Amino acid sequence: MAVTIKDVAKKAGVSPSTVSRVLSNHPRISKETSIKVKNIMNELGYHSNMMARSLVSNKTYTLGMILPRPAEELFQNHFFAENIRGITTQAARNGYDVLMTAGANDSDEMEAITRLVLGRRVDGIILLQSRKHDPIITFLREHDFPFVLIGRYEEDPNVLCVDNDNIQAAFDATSHLISQGHTRIGFVSGPPSLSVSQDRLEGYRQALAEHQLQMKSEWIVEGEFLQESGYRAMSFFMSLPERPTALVIIDDVVSFGVMRGLTELGYSVPEDLSIIGFNNISLTELSTPPLSSIDIGIYQLGYMASQMLIKRIQGETQPQPRTIVPHRLMIRESSLHYKAKRSGV
Amino acid sequence: MAVTIKDVAKKAGVSPSTVSRVLSNHPRISKETSIKVKNIMNELGYHSNMMARSLVSNKTYTLGMILPRPAEELFQNHFFAENIRGITTQAARNGYDVLMTAGANDSDEMEAITRLVLGRRVDGIILLQSRKHDPIITFLREHDFPFVLIGRYEEDPNVLCVDNDNIQAAFDATSHLISQGHTRIGFVSGPPSLSVSQDRLEGYRQALAEHQLQMKSEWIVEGEFLQESGYRAMSFFMSLPERPTALVIIDDVVSFGVMRGLTELGYSVPEDLSIIGFNNISLTELSTPPLSSIDIGIYQLGYMASQMLIKRIQGETQPQPRTIVPHRLMIRESSLHYKAKRSGV
């Protein structure tokens, strides 16, 4: 005969509603009660059918996530892995699992989201990238479905999001290069549809303006978050009659592509071209020379997004819709001593 | 009034059972029929409640996965991200989502697995690491629950698994170092409880034995899949009165720790110590010198595991329980020309 909640309650000396609360991870249940009840469940062999329970409570205790598309594959290897670790760690602490679905293109992604939302497969969704006029956001807003964006969404200031101050971060990176004596500074950007590309370009622009430095359109190149994009940007810059002497690069992986290209052509970093990237992935310390980078707190972005979404699902009011994760300038050899080295000191 | 399957069937000019099959991703439904029916569903605003449907069909169209623990964090950044990409891509192609759950320790992991299996939250599970006498495997076997292991499980040859031939891979890596003139070769291993550590150590041992080379116990060091482990192993080896001249290293990230340590102490790779790693992560090409590595097909391991599990869930017979993903020796500067360089040629 199947063990029921009543059996568990009786044996544990608590009310059946307390057992239900343990099952639904209710915040008012103490750690001790929860452990005691769970031990008795295991002892008696009780296991609720989570799905049946979901139908009743209308909760799945699951957060949904759409994986980035194949075109952004390499981006995953560093940014995404760390981001997902933050999301999942915080979710697990609150008794939530994470459901991942993958879409090969825009219409696939939209179908996946529809399935998760209308099929009630998750309680909320974390969006890993922000695009302008995103139809997914429109859909989620229409259905009043909880979601948190990693990035920002200027079309609607009420969208919950976790972001860096990317304008300030790129401003700081560019100012650092200026402080090293550079006056000809280029920018390697990401896909123009992403807000992260737009914001970092703006920060670069502001820093140059503040120092009355020239911003030449040929010193700005767009690409993907791939090594190859860095390689191509480097080839282009080095072919210019008037080359930049330093680059702000949207992503460390792209920076590695620039460095590889320079090494192949016999140029040196930082002497021929000083560079600084974003993300501060673990391998920045290992490249030759070690790569300067902006630490944007990738793990924390995921962790905060997860926390914010769970609060939203549980009906807690958020003090403000936007959380900013601070960034940090990590200065290494790739952007240092340009002047000293050029003059052979 | 809610739109029903019948409404969709009528409008699409198919039978209601065809619509059901489209909903359950039945393999006998043609791509065209599926697209036609789905378009009509969207048009009419039909959406099945996936959970209600799951309760009836007893299928969730979801694969479960337990994330590696914090102690193996860095391992995730490269191996895990690529692995998960393979798993999710193949799952998505078959209409499956992937549910991730994280456990901070052994008992958390066991609880998570219990929840997924007994709560019927997933149709099957992919295990990302294989340990000896794994209680999770015992549990899954007892419940006759579909699962696939990435790795191998010698206690039970019927366990479905996707693996490399790690003995042969380490044999090949060691033989390559021998072919470069090395006679004193060390091994940096991973946690001894993992089958991957045991197998690669065995391959190293076999290669030395075949060439009648000495295997000294002090030339074998165990550690985690972390840069720090490589750094520590390097310090230890360089302090020995009789040092190895080459190392086989269980993981590229560990190899980077060795390289960093050597550089800091003023030693050169490959002249003072030649090294070869495993995994062939993208940054092996970018280190100075570029790192030799065994490409083990991480993406393919995940992709095959996902495919195998879906077949198992759908009741297809597997020709054999074990699939081997081939490996490839990627020789780069870190393990080449040892003799020539030592003699100053």
Same domain assignment for residues A193 and A274: yes
CA atoms of B345 and B341, how far apart (whole Å): 6
Could you tell me if A324 lies within 8 Å of chain B, comparing CB atoms? no
Residue B96 structural domain: 62-164+298-314
Same domain assignment for residues A84 and A220: no
If contacts are CB pairs under 8 Å, which of residues 130-189 in chain B contact chain A? Answer: none
Asked if the structure places residue A49 within a domain, the reply is no
Are B104 and A92 in contact by the 8 Å Cβ rule? The answer is: yes
pLDDT at A74: 43
Q: Where are the alpha helices (DSSP H) in chain B?
A: 5-12, 16-23, 31-44, 50-57, 73-75, 81-93, 106-118, 135-142, 166-179, 195-210, 227-238, 252-264, 298-313, 338-342
Distance from CA of B53 to the nearest CA of A (A): 9
The CATH number for B32's domain is: 1.10.260.40
- Tokens encoding B69: 């623990």
Same domain assignment for residues A95 and A187: no
CA atoms of A285 and B261, how far apart (whole Å): 12
Asked if the structure places residue B250 within a domain, the reply is yes
CA atoms of A98 and B66, how far apart (whole Å): 11
Cβ-defined contact of B100 to A99 (cutoff 8 Å) = yes
List the pLDDT tens digit at each of the 345 positions of chain B.
456 777 888 888 888 778 777 776 666 778 788 888 888 877 776 765 554 554 456 788 899 998 766 544 544 457 777 788 889 888 888 889 999 887 666 777 787 888 888 888 899 999 987 777 888 999 999 889 999 999 888 888 899 999 999 999 999 999 999 999 999 999 999 989 888 999 999 999 999 999 999 899 999 999 988 888 999 999 999 999 999 999 999 999 899 999 989 988 999 999 999 999 999 987 788 777 889 999 999 989 999 999 999 999 999 888 889 999 999 999 999 999 776 665 654
Nearest to B65 by CA among B117, B132, B134, B105: B117
Residue with tokens 């650092």: A176
Segment A186-232, tens digit of pLDDT? 999 998 988 899 999 999 999 999 999 989 999 999 998 888 899 99
Same domain assignment for residues A116 and A224: no
Q: Could you say which DSSP state residue A283 is in?
A: G
Asked if the structure places residue A37 within a domain, the reply is no
Same domain assignment for residues B127 and B215: no
Asked if the structure places residue A95 within a domain, the reply is yes
Could you tell me if A251 lies within 8 Å of chain B, comparing CB atoms? no
> How many domains, in total, are found in chain A?
2
- For residue B89, the chain A residues in CB contact (below 8 A) are 70, 102
| Phi, psi of B271, rounded to the nearest 5 degrees | -60, -50
Same domain assignment for residues A128 and A183: no
Three-class SS state of B247: strand
Please tell me which residue of chain B has the smallest CA distance to A68: B85
Lowest mean pLDDT among A62-66, A273-277, B285-289, B327-331: B285-289
- For residue B92, the chain A residues in CB contact (below 8 A) are 101-104, 108, 112
Same domain assignment for residues B159 and B199: no
Same domain assignment for residues A245 and A333: yes
Nearest to B270 by CA among B244, B242, B295, B296: B244
Cβ-defined contact of A97 to B121 (cutoff 8 Å) = yes
If contacts are CB pairs under 8 Å, which of residues 91-130 in chain B contact chain A? Answer: 91-92, 97-104, 108, 112, 114-116, 118-121
Asked if the structure places residue B261 within a domain, the reply is yes
Same domain assignment for residues A287 and A306: no
Same domain assignment for residues A193 and A334: yes
Could you tell me if B35 lies within 8 Å of chain A, comparing CB atoms? no
Size of interface A-B (CB pairs under 8 A): 135
Cβ-defined contact of A282 to B118 (cutoff 8 Å) = no
The CATH number for A124's domain is: 3.40.50.2300
Asked if the structure places residue B320 within a domain, the reply is no
Same domain assignment for residues A175 and A276: yes
ipTM value, please give it. Answer: 0.70
Cβ-defined contact of B119 to A77 (cutoff 8 Å) = no
- For residue B112, the chain A residues in CB contact (below 8 A) are 92
Asked if the structure places residue A154 within a domain, the reply is yes
pLDDT at A342: 59
Same domain assignment for residues B159 and B233: no
